[in-house]
Amino acid sequence: MNTPLTGPVRYRVVHETQYSYQSLVTLSQQVLHLAPRSFAFQHTEHQQLSVEPGAEHSSDGLDYFGNHTRHITITEPHRQLLVRAESTVALSPRPQLGQIHTSQTWESLAQQLQQVRTPTMLEASRYLYDSPHIQCGSELARYARSSYSPGRPHLDAALALTQRIFDEFEFDDQATEISTPLSEVLKGRRGVCQDFAQLMIGCLRSLGLPARYVSGYILTQPPPGQPRLIGADASHAWVSVFCPRLGWVDFDPTNRCLVQAEHISLGWGRDFSDVTPLRGVVLGGGGQELSVSVTVIPASEELIAG
């Protein structure tokens, strides 16, 4: 999953979230991060959001990090909540491998961030510090230094760290929860994309380097000879690393790659808590079950129900 783009490529994304409640919900207030953002390498051509039951109040806005949000209030009593987001995005070519090997050394960048106060540097500096799910420390710095050797180009080291996390950690969706601390992820060497992204971010911040958490989707390939199926994909997370010359460059430790043509960005923040797709409070409900279905396909293909 590391194919460079030679021109724009378009994708369709369908993201469905359904909550089933044990008892009646009489009030639901939610904040949604489900609209892909537009930036240098991505343009959102179409976005539509539907909610069942319908919202009595709904307002769109931007959060602190510039991500699109929708705040909804549902007063109709219900036992199920269904949120469906449909988007079409166009991706443009990103920085490629040849460019990252010529970045400045990581030590010079860390020093520059402490001395230079340009708007770009100040914006990057917001991603230098601890956040709710990422606590920096010597243990993470020590793990990072195996890749961040003295005098090594920053982005070259970031790619090496990306590859090490892939090689040394095992994907296991039963090993962690949202609240699992990075110290346990590092010790157990198991987790999911969210864990691997936050682990890499913690390593970089522990060296004095800015890194942000990106929430989005990734195109997956069906088995040979099989069609793409509706709902067969999932939300994804990866890491964006700051470089003054190239801007923000994205790396995916779950898939051992420099992000290129198959990642669609929803939004970014300090960690998962800043870009949760759906978050809110309900009155009533009791126990609940959550079901999430994601479909990502090239815009030229048709959806096939499975």
Compute mean pLDDT per 10 residues along the chain, 306 residues long, and list them. 68 96 97 97 96 97 97 98 97 89 93 91 96 97 97 96 98 93 96 97 98 95 68 85 95 95 95 96 95 91 59
Token duo for residue 287: 């126990």
Per-residue confidence (pLDDT) for residue 15, from 0 to 100: 96
| Domain identity same for 262 and 183 | yes
| Domain identity same for 116 and 193 | yes
Question: Does residue 131 fall inside a structural domain?
Answer: yes
Per-residue confidence (pLDDT) for residue 104, from 0 to 100: 94
| Domain identity same for 84 and 126 | no
Domain that holds residue 73: 9-91+275-298
Per-residue confidence (pLDDT) for residue 272, from 0 to 100: 97
| Domain identity same for 58 and 79 | yes
Question: Does residue 290 fall inside a structural domain?
Answer: yes
Tokens 């378009």 belong to residue: 10
Per-residue confidence (pLDDT) for residue 6, from 0 to 100: 64
Question: Does residue 153 fall inside a structural domain?
Answer: yes
Per-residue confidence (pLDDT) for residue 7, from 0 to 100: 67
Q: Please tell me the total count of domains within the chain.
A: 2
| Domain identity same for 122 and 188 | yes
| Domain identity same for 72 and 106 | no
Span between the terminal Cα atoms of the chain, in Å: 24
| Domain identity same for 144 and 263 | yes
Q: What angle do helix axes 154-168 and 193-206 make, rounded to 10 degrees?
A: 140
| Domain identity same for 48 and 109 | no
| Domain identity same for 112 and 150 | yes
The CATH number of the domain where 235 resides is what? 3.10.620.30
Question: Does residue 1 fall inside a structural domain?
Answer: no
| Domain identity same for 69 and 108 | no
| Domain identity same for 257 and 285 | no
| Domain identity same for 57 and 169 | no
Per-residue confidence (pLDDT) for residue 302, from 0 to 100: 64
Residue of 297, 216, 203 whose CA lies nearest to 250:
216
Question: Does residue 264 fall inside a structural domain?
Answer: yes
Asked if 74 and 53 touch (Cβ cutoff 8 Å), the reply is: yes
Q: What angle do helix axes 106-115 and 154-168 make, rounded to 10 degrees?
A: 120
Question: Does residue 259 fall inside a structural domain?
Answer: yes
Q: How far out from the chain centre does Cα 128 lie?
A: 17
Instruction: Read off the pTM.
Output: 0.93
Per-residue confidence (pLDDT) for residue 100, from 0 to 100: 85
